[in-house]
Chain A
Amino acid sequence: MAKLKSGDMLAKASRVIAMRTAELRGAVLALVDQLEEAMRAKDWPTVFAATHEIRGFAETAGLNATGRIANGLCHYLDSIEQLGAGPDGAIVSLHVDAVIRSARTEDDAARHGDAVAKQLAALVARKLADVKEAARR
């Protein structure tokens, strides 16, 4: 009985998320506007903050690729900060462009699926390895 009750509640809670998908997508798009503006102004703290917010929201809003790409950028920015180095503008710019395009594209999965996220993740891994290698020398 208890198990049945928790199952019902989980199903209800999952429906709540599904019902709010459109609203959350709107919130992500507003954050994407903020991100674009911050990128144009080279306002890095806002780029960082907006990217983290997008990472937290995107997948709940059904924007899975956007979430993965934002996650990759957060990982890069956080790791580079930990290594005491500055971010490479090209890496940030590539990710931000991909986040913006994937969030604004209706067919998120088809155009910006795993391929983009994986390529960017590989790029981040290479760059972080370079920075670590340079720090070791």
Chain B
Amino acid sequence: MSGGAFDHLKALVVEDNQHMRMLLRSLLNALGIAVVFEAANGEDAFVLLRDKQPDIVLSDLSMKPMDGIDFAREVRMSKSSPNPYIPIIMVTGHTERHRIEAARDAGVTEVLAKPITAANLFQRIGEIVDRPRPFVKASDYFGPDRRRHAVEGYAGPFRRRDDFENDLAVR
């Protein structure tokens, strides 16, 4: 772990519920992140992303008019995005598999399930700081590599099944 060396980070919290926004701000402050910007919706968040250049985004999933999934997709895919590479932690009470997969496919870096605990938030930020994932660009996706499993015995650059099966067969 990073040992909690998060004090150099600037965070942007995107959350329509004022109480949750305050809670997240206080938690981030307690974890050493002193600079925290707040937005109540995706549109305002885009402005802050451009003007304040945060290092990390924590976004709620359920927001109106733009929800967290659409916001993440805009950040990753839009030509006007100020920073398509910024790590996004999706904070959500929607823990159903299809919603988590939708968040992943929109380019979300980490998912933090509510109820939030200090340990879980710390772990997600630590993961981003200590183990940044490479980005992948495909016709319908841009974001962090969605495949986290390492294949034993294969250290090559390609990740499709055929690639490592052929490589292992040759050896």
Chain A positions near chain B (C-beta within 8 angstroms) = 1-3, 5-6, 9-10, 12-17, 20, 23-24, 27, 49, 52-53, 55-60, 67, 74-75, 78-79, 82
Q: Using an 8 Å CB-CB cutoff, how does the interface string of B17-40 with A read, 1 for contact, 0 for none?
A: 101101100110111100000000
Q: Which residue of B lies closest to A61 (CB)?
A: B115
Contact present for A52 and B23 (CB under 8 Å): no
- Residue B152 is within 8 A (CB to CB) of chain A in the complex: no
Contact present for A27 and B122 (CB under 8 Å): no
Contact present for A6 and B122 (CB under 8 Å): yes
Contact present for A16 and B118 (CB under 8 Å): yes
Chain B residues closer than 8 Å to A55, beta-carbon distance: 93, 114
Nearest-Cβ distance from residue B131 to partner chain A, whole angstroms: 16
Give the number of chain B interface residues (Cβ < 8 Å). 31
Chain A residues closer than 8 Å to B78, beta-carbon distance: none
Q: Most A CB atoms within 10 A — which of B3, B20, B93?
A: B93
Contact present for A13 and B122 (CB under 8 Å): yes
Contact present for A20 and B31 (CB under 8 Å): no
Nearest-Cβ distance from residue A74 to partner chain B, whole angstroms: 7
What's the Cα separation between A16 and B25 when bound, in Å? Answer: 10
Q: With contacts A16-B30, A52-B62 known, what are 10 further pairs, Cβ within 8 A? A: A6-B4, A6-B122, A9-B4, A10-B4, A14-B117, A14-B118, A16-B23, A16-B118, A57-B19, A60-B116
- Residue B170 is within 8 A (CB to CB) of chain A in the complex: no
Number of A-B contacts (CB under 8 A): 91
What's the Cα separation between A3 and B94 when bound, in Å? Answer: 32
Contact present for B3 and A16 (CB under 8 Å): no
Chain B positions near chain A (C-beta within 8 angstroms) = 1-5, 17, 19-20, 22-23, 26-27, 29-32, 62, 92-94, 96, 98-99, 114-119, 121-122
What's the Cα separation between A3 and B119 when bound, in Å? Answer: 13
Q: Which residue of A lies closest to B17 (CB)?
A: A53
25 contacts between A and B (CB under 8 A): A2-B2, A9-B31, A10-B31, A10-B118, A10-B122, A13-B118, A13-B122, A16-B26, A17-B27, A17-B117, A20-B23, A24-B19, A52-B62, A53-B62, A55-B93, A56-B20, A56-B92, A56-B115, A57-B20, A58-B115, A60-B23, A78-B94, A78-B96, A78-B99, A82-B98
What's the Cα separation between A11 and B161 when bound, in Å? Answer: 43
Nearest-Cβ distance from residue B28 to partner chain A, whole angstroms: 9
Nearest-Cβ distance from residue B24 to partner chain A, whole angstroms: 10
Contact present for B1 and A2 (CB under 8 Å): yes
Chain B residues closer than 8 Å to A52, beta-carbon distance: 62, 93-94
Contact present for A17 and B96 (CB under 8 Å): no
Contact present for B96 and A23 (CB under 8 Å): no
Contact present for B23 and A24 (CB under 8 Å): yes
Chain B residues closer than 8 Å to A16, beta-carbon distance: 23, 26-27, 29-30, 118
